[in-house]
Amino acid sequence: MNQAAKLNSIQAINLALDDAMAADENVIVLGEDVGDKEEGGIVGVTRGLSGKYGDSRVRSTPISEQAIIGAAIGAAIVGMRPVAEIMLMNFTTVAMDMIINHAAKLRFMSGGQTHVPMVIRTMTGAGFGTGGQHADYLEAWFAHTAGIKVVAPSSPADAYGLMLSAIEDDDPVLFIENMPTYWNPGPAPERGKKIPLGKANVLREGGDVTLISYSRRVLDCYAVAEKLAADGISVEVIDLRTISPLDSETILASVAKTGRAVVVHEAVKPFGVGAEIASQIYESLFAQLKAPVQRVGANYAPVPFSKPLEDAHVPGLEQIEAAVRATLK
């Protein structure tokens, strides 16, 4: 990889949308502020697209989340591939009827006569002091619903490749972008290279403990793994990339090897994705486990505003390290 070729996630997702729109005229983009007159979104992910592809295919919408998702569903049913932006993940709550009762279920309820090839882009994440209604990780709600896929990349290159696959996918995909790490540069993706949905990435190989995560917290897991290597602890890091459908095969193969597992996410710990993963590990590998599965997640509370509280709320490097060490006792 050319070290000079770096992109951040904003640029990588923009590039994926650009490439998808160039390749398929059925790809359209709609959401609040997505057009160039509105600066291509509050952080500029869609900047330049309406200028290039026109206001018909790239539409800034009213602040009407139900109408945005409804329009995307209707267009998708008749063969378009809409990428609908719901600015912040908390705002998906306003459109839950459209997402859960319709987008996720229409293929099943129609007996396969219709399907909804739609992507919902949304950003979230604590760290910017946005408080209780702008930073939640709500992926467990969606993963709990059959019929919608949930994708959460951890790097710019992954965001690019996963977005290409999400747009091409024939089912609805919720695509979760982490806001605080939007501007982190990373190696540029190979142009046109798709990353398959439903496949986890073994980011770092190791033999003692398996660390499983997705989205921003993969970066923390990787940092902890590097640190523990100095103490002679060999940590395997799995980046799920897709939360649902879950790549159980990769998870179980790794834990079968290490006998120890820690699941880490920024969402609150109780009833989270970590609980599902821990259950699957117990169901398949109970006798082979060398220690109980550990879960690390946010405090069971709304995301607080005050900086020291916000920092204490989300899982930190120390907690992840402690959880890994706990499996080795």
Binding site for another protein (CB under 8 A): 28, 56-57, 59, 61-62, 64-67, 69-80, 82, 97-98, 101-102, 106-115, 146-147, 149, 169-171, 245, 248
Residue closer to another protein by CB (options 102, 313) is 102
* CA-CA-CA-CA dihedral for 135, 129, 64, 109, to nearest 10: 0
Q: Which of 160, 193, 176 is nearest to 14 (CA)?
A: 160
What own/partner pairs with CB < 8 Å and gap ≥ 24 does 308-316 have?
A: 310/126, 310/127, 310/129, 313/126, 314/126, 314/127, 314/266, 315/217, 315/220, 315/264, 315/265, 315/266, 316/220
- Give the residue with the Cβ less far from another protein, 105 or 325: 105
Residue 38 CB, nearest distance to another protein (Å)?
A: 14
CB of 252 to another protein, least distance (A): 12
Residue 300 amino acid letter: Y
Q: Which among 103, 82, 81 has a CA at the least distance from the CA of 92?
A: 103
Residue closer to another protein by CB (options 61, 178) is: 61
User: Which CB, 111 or 232, lies closer to another protein?
Assistant: 111
Q: Which position among 102, 134, 265, 313 bears the catalytic label?
A: 134
Q: Which is nearer to another protein, 108 or 128 (CB)?
A: 108
Neighbours of 279 (CB within 10 A): 11
Smallest gap from Cβ 267 to another protein, in A, equals 22
Q: Is 134 a catalytic residue?
A: yes
Neighbours of 37 (CB within 10 A): 10
Q: Is the sign of the CA dihedral 182, 240, 18, 171 positive or negative? A: negative
Is residue 65 flagged as an active site residue? Answer: yes
**Strands, E assignment, 66-116:** 81-88
Residues designated as active site:
65, 134
